[in-house]
Amino acid sequence: MNIEQWDEYIAVKQAMDDLVKDLEISRPMKEMVQHACINGGKLIRPIILLLTTDLCGGDYKKSINAAVAIEMIHSASLIHDDVLDEGTLRRGAPSMYRQFGCSSAILCGDFLISKAIELISPYDSRAVRDFGRAGMH
In this structure, which amino acid lies at residue 62?
K
Per residue in 113-129, pLDDT tens? 999 999 988 888 787 77
pLDDT at residue 129, rounded to an integer: 78
User: Model-level pTM?
Assistant: 0.88
Ordered by where they begin, the domains of the chain are: 3-134 (1.10.600.10)
Per residue in 5-16, pLDDT tens? 999 999 999 999
State the average pLDDT for the chain. 90
pLDDT band at 39 (very low <50, low <70, confident <90, very high): confident
Does the pLDDT value for residue 85 go beyond 70? yes
pLDDT at residue 124, rounded to an integer: 80
pLDDT at residue 137, rounded to an integer: 61
